[in-house]
Structure 1
C-alpha cells in the first residue's frame, strides 16, 4: 500500500544458498554474511534476521550506521564486523557495543587504544594488510612501524583478525595479481606472528576468491553477492561449473521486484513515445504505463532495451525511462488489465528477468544495480 513497487525476499532461497555455502567451505571455516550496501539492496532490516534464522551468526558491514541498523534488527546476539568507515566517536561506540572493526592506519589503532582504556573494555580489531589493492591497509614496512603502537595497546586491544582484500578475484586476468597478494599476506602474517601477535582469525576471501582460490578460505570467508543468489562474474560461475559434473547452478535468487500497470495509452503508427524522438511507433500500439522509473533504481540506460513480465509474457520498454514511470509494449499480450502484476526482476510463469540481463543491457554490475534499489521500496519476506 502507498508504494508503486515492492520487493519480495525468498526465505527458502536463502536457506538453500546458506546451506550450499556452508557445505562448500566446510565446518572449520566461519561464514560472515556481508550486508553492506543495504544488504546488496535486499534490506538490512529484512535480510539480517532472516539470515540469522538460517544459521548465520557473523555479519560484515562497511560503516557504523550499518552496524547500528544490524544491532537494532537482529533478534539474537551475533558478531558484527565493520570493514570500513568509523569516525573517532564511532570507534568508542563500536567498542562499547562489542563490535569488531578493521584497523588500517595508525590513527585508528591509537583511537581504539584510548577508547578501550576509557571504557575499561578491550577493542576487538582486525589488522588489514595492504597486499596490492592499494586502497586501505598496512604494507610490511608500515607493519614494522606499527609494532610499538601494538605493544602499547596490549591489554586494551584484542587482535581478532588479520585480513586483506583481493583486487579482482572474479577475473582470470587478475590471476597472477591475486596469487601475489596471497603471498604478500602470508609474509605479513608471518612477520606479525614472529613478533608475538597471533590473530584469532585469518581471513582474505570474498565470494569470488572462495570459489576460485580455495586456499584463501582460511578461518573465515566474507560472503556477499553469492548468498543473495548471484555469481561475482560469469568467469567465476564457469570456473565452478567446470569443477562439477552436474553443471547446475546451485544458487537461488532471493529477490523479486514487482509493480503493476497504472494505465494504458494507445499510440498510432508514426507517433513518438515519451521524451525526445528515441522511439517512433512502427505500428498502432497499446502501451502499459508502469509507475517505476530511474528514481526507483530502474536505470535510464534501459530505455528502449529493458523488458518486464506481464501475464507471463515479455514486454519491451519503449521510449526513455522517466523519473517515475516507463512505458512498455503490450500490443501482443491479450487480456491485459489495469493493476495487472508487472515483474521487473524475477520470475512470472515460465519467464524470468535476471539481474544479469539488466547488467548486460545497462552496463551495470549485479552489485551496482542491486545496491541502487532505493531503501524506501518496501521489502516483504515470502517462503
Structure 2
C-alpha cells in the first residue's frame, strides 16, 4: 500500500442504517441518498455502488462534478438529483443524461428551457421555494413570474419536484422557525396546485426533519448524515433513545480510518515533544509517530487532546499535530511495535473513537470532520 492511512466502509453497517431509515418513513416514501461532500467523506466512487447494492435507487448531490463522478461509478442506472451548483454550460449535459436538478432563480429556469430545446428532451426540475432558510429558493414575490414561466416553457420543462430546506431541524431551539417554514411551504404548495402546476414529487425533509417532524416526509426524504451512522445532533440522539427506551444506538458507523505506527521513540522526563513547548513529558515516555496529520484531515486543533486506538487501548495525542505526522503516548501499552495498526476513527476491539468525540474536542461538527477527509485516502468496502 502506497498510502499512510486508509478507510474501511462497512456494507453491513450501511444495510442496517438504510433499514432503520426505511422503518421511520414507511414503504410509500422514497429515500434519496445524499452523497454531497464526497459522500460525507466516505467517497462517492465507493459509497455510490455500495448504496445501490443495498437497494438505493435515488441519489442527491451538490454539483455537476459530483453527479458525473457518481454516474461513472454506478454499475446500474439510478436517479441523480443536483441540489446546488450547476453552471449554464452544464445544463444540456445534465438534461441529456436524465439528471434532475434544483431550480431556485428565474435565470436558471430560462437557461434550462433553452438547454432542453437543444438537447431535444425535457429538463426535469425541482423548484426550490424560500420558506425561511434564506439561502436559495424562489421568494414569494417571484412566484407569479415563476408560474408563468413554468406554463410558458412546459414543452421543455417538467415539474419533477417542489421542495424546500429547513433551517436547523436538529435543534429544539429552532422549533418555531421550522413550524413556520412548514406552514409557508404548505401554503405555497396549495398555490401551485391552484395554478394547475402539479409536481411529481414533494420533498422537504433532511435527516433531522425526518426524525423530528414526521409530517415532513411527504413523497421523498433526502437523508445524508444518518445513513452513515451519525445522528444530526446529540439532542436528537438522546431524545430518540429516551422516547424508545433504548440502550444501544440503532445506527452503525460505516467508517474505520486506519494507519500504522511509523516509528517509536523514548523521551526523557522533562523534555518537550514536537514543535514549540505545548507538551512537556511528565515522566519517561514512549512515543509512537503516526504518519497522519492535518494534511490528511486530522485537525490541528486535536493537538494534546485527540486519541487513537492501538492494541485495543486508547493512546493520547501529545504535542502539536503536524502537517503529515502526529505523536501519541504509548508508554502504558505493552508490547507496542513499529507497524502496529492504529485506528484514528472507528473501532478496534471493544473500544471506539467516534467523530462525536472529535467534535467535542475540536469544536467541529460531524459533517465538517468527515468531509475534510481527503479524496486521495484509499477507501475499501468491508463486510
TM-score by length of 2: 0.99
Deviation at 1:117, TM superposition (A): 1.2
- Alpha-carbon separation, structure 2, partners of 1:26 and 1:247: 24
Pick which of 204-213 and 235-244 moved more: 235-244
Deviation at 1:14, TM superposition (A): 0.4
**Structure 1: unaligned runs, 5 residues or longer:** none
Correspondence for 2:184? 184
1:1-383 matches, within 5 Å, as: 1-383=1-383
- Alpha-carbon separation, structure 2, partners of 1:279 and 1:249: 36
Deviation at 1:247, TM superposition (A): 4.2
SS in 1 for 2:272: coil
Deviation at 1:240, TM superposition (A): 1.5
SS in 1 for 2:83: strand
Q: Is the 8 A contact 1:212 1:240 kept in 2?
A: no
- Alpha-carbon separation, structure 2, partners of 1:36 and 1:102: 14
- Alpha-carbon separation, structure 2, partners of 1:184 and 1:141: 13
Size of the aligned set, in residue pairs, is 383
- Alpha-carbon separation, structure 2, partners of 1:338 and 1:104: 55
Q: Name segments (4+ residues, structure 1) moved above 6 Å.
A: none
**Structure 2: unaligned runs, 5 residues or longer:** none
Deviation at 1:231, TM superposition (A): 0.2
Deviation at 1:119, TM superposition (A): 1.4
Pick which of 361-370 and 111-120 moved more: 111-120
- Alpha-carbon separation, structure 1, partners of 2:55 and 2:23: 13
Deviation at 1:373, TM superposition (A): 0.2
- Alpha-carbon separation, structure 2, partners of 1:51 and 1:348: 24
Pick which of 148-157 and 257-266 moved more: 148-157
- Alpha-carbon separation, structure 1, partners of 2:327 and 2:309: 13
TM-score by length of 1: 0.99
Deviation at 1:145, TM superposition (A): 2.0
Q: Is the 8 A contact 1:36 1:62 kept in 2?
A: yes
Deviation at 1:311, TM superposition (A): 0.5
- Alpha-carbon separation, structure 2, partners of 1:97 and 1:173: 42
- Alpha-carbon separation, structure 2, partners of 1:43 and 1:326: 24
Q: Is the 8 A contact 1:162 1:202 kept in 2?
A: yes
